[in-house]
Structure 1
Amino acid sequence: MMIAYASRTCTRRNLDALRRAGWRLMVSARGALRTEGFRYALDNGAWTSFQRGEPFDEAAFERAIARLGADADWIVVPDIVMGGMASLKFSRTWLARLRNRRSLAKARFMVAVQNGIMPAHVRDLVGPRVGVFVGGDTEWKLATMAGWARFARARGAICHVGRVNSARRIRLCAAAGAHSFDGSGVSRFAEALPPLDLARRQADFEGWLSRDEIASLAPGSSMPKRCRE
């Protein structure tokens, strides 16, 4: 069963529902740096900056690392949303900096991959301590996540898929072989949790989606029409 992360919320009802379901939190460097007693992963805040049309907030990320980095399940290395190879170059610089910090000696990092990035571009980075965070736009993400999951497993790494907010997307992630996913819907609406949690607990029995089919998709492949949204 995949591990599920929900965006951090301060709503007690939603937190209680997430806790009962065994979900974890995705804490953003651009948000309140509280874990609410959950296991958590630490996001770098680039997505929030992108949505607001702002540059990456390095100061916010540094504060988040200092407060929560050591105990996070993993840390998303700073990236440039939809930045392609420029994003990877940016991430490489940050990863080198983070790996040299004594306080993060036992930390696990995640490199965000997005449109234009291929496994060959990150082969030297990915391994037991550096996993793959599948970002990019929706079409690219759905078409490539199975290939990224296979690549990560072959390297002894984990593969996480970002921004997953429907039962269908959760089933697609499971069929692809992803280790975990995150979404914001259950943080805002407690009633959204039961169907999404059920989806992550169920095996993929739907006849329209075969594991072999989705596993055949590699980064750069075309996505079957019936997998489009």
Structure 2
Amino acid sequence: MHIRRAWASDCGAVSKYGFDEDLYFAQIQRLEPWAATCHFLVVPDVIQDAEATLNVFTHYARELAATPLPLAYVLQDGAEDEAFPVGAQVAFLGGSDPWRRRWGATLLARAHEEGLRTHVGRVNSAQRVQALSFTHADSCDGTYVAFRSVERGLREIGAWLDRASMPSLFSANDFRHVP
């Protein structure tokens, strides 16, 4: 029996080696045969700079228009003042921690209202998983398992998810941002 697993791909722009455009496009070509199970492909972004990220997204989205992979726009510091770009199918919450705490839920709700799927990066604790239960986050990722054994890390993350999915007095629809 063949199991089709959902997956997503980062762009490598924030790796310790920096962004390699040739490697990025070669990776996209290798991944396209599995587009049916792809949640998103991250378009390059600029850490904590929404304006630069929007410019980079606009540039690469034109080049990626023919790819069947859904494009993720990374929300960076300052994105609260920007419209979601044409071509984005997923809003990926990046940015600095203070900015995410201030604007994250608002931007995820806005993306949800505009029909974009949502994803949150750097979710590496039970506290962050719990906080997501009050947002319109469709998915999340983190590097927690890389610092634990796979077995222990998956067991702990499973417990976080179980606690976060318990019935709650409130849901994301009960909250809205008031500037």
TM-score range (shorter-chain normalised) is 0.7 to 0.9
TM-aligned CA deviation for residue 154 of structure 1: 1.1
Question: Against the structure 1 CA distance between its residues 212 and 77, is the aligned structure 2 distance closer, same or farther, given a 3 Å change threshold?
Answer: closer
User: Is the aligned partner of 1:172 residue 2:139?
Assistant: no
CA 1:91–1:184: 2 relative to 1, 3 Å: same
Contact kept in structure 2, 1:143 and 1:217, CA below 8 Å = no
Query: Structure 2, unaligned stretches of length 5 or more?
Result: none
Q: Does 2:8 match 1:41?
A: yes
Q: Is residue 2:153 matched to residue 1:192?
A: yes
Tell me the matched-pair count: 170
3-state SS, counterpart of residue 74 of structure 1: strand
Gaps of 5+ in 1: 1-36, 222-229
Hey, what's the Cα distance between the residues in 1 that align with 2:175 and 2:155?
27
Q: Which residue of 2 aligns with 1:59?
A: 22
Q: Once the two structures are superposed, what CA deviation does each residue of 1:66-107 show, in whole Å capped at 9, x if it has no partner?
A: 1114523210111112233112111111011101x2xx2x32
Question: What TM-score do you get using the length of structure 1 for normalisation?
Answer: 0.65
CA contact under 8 A between 1:46 and 1:78: conserved in structure 2?
yes
Between the aligned partners of 1:215 and 1:186, the Cα distance in structure 2 is 31
Structure 2 length-normalised TM: 0.81
Q: Deviations over 1:32-58 (max 9, x none)?
A: xxxxx843101000121xxx3x54211
1:153 is aligned to 112
Query: Does 2:12 match 1:85?
Result: no
CA distance in 1 between counterparts of 2:5 and 2:146 reads: 13
Aligned residue for 1:76? 42
- Percent identity, aligned pairs only, is 24
In structure 2, what is the equivalent of residue 112 of structure 1? Answer: 74
Distance 1:205 1:85, change over 3 A: same
* Partner SS, residue 143 of structure 1: helix
Q: Please say if residues 174 and 200 of structure 1, whose CA atoms lie closer than 8 Å, have aligned partners that are also in contact.
A: no
Is the Cα contact below 8 Å between 1:41 and 1:74 reproduced in 2? yes
Kindly report the root-mean-square deviation, in angstroms, between the aligned alpha carbons of the 2 structures: 2.6
Relative contact order, CA 8 A, sep 6+: which one is greater?
A: 1
1:122 is matched with which residue? 83
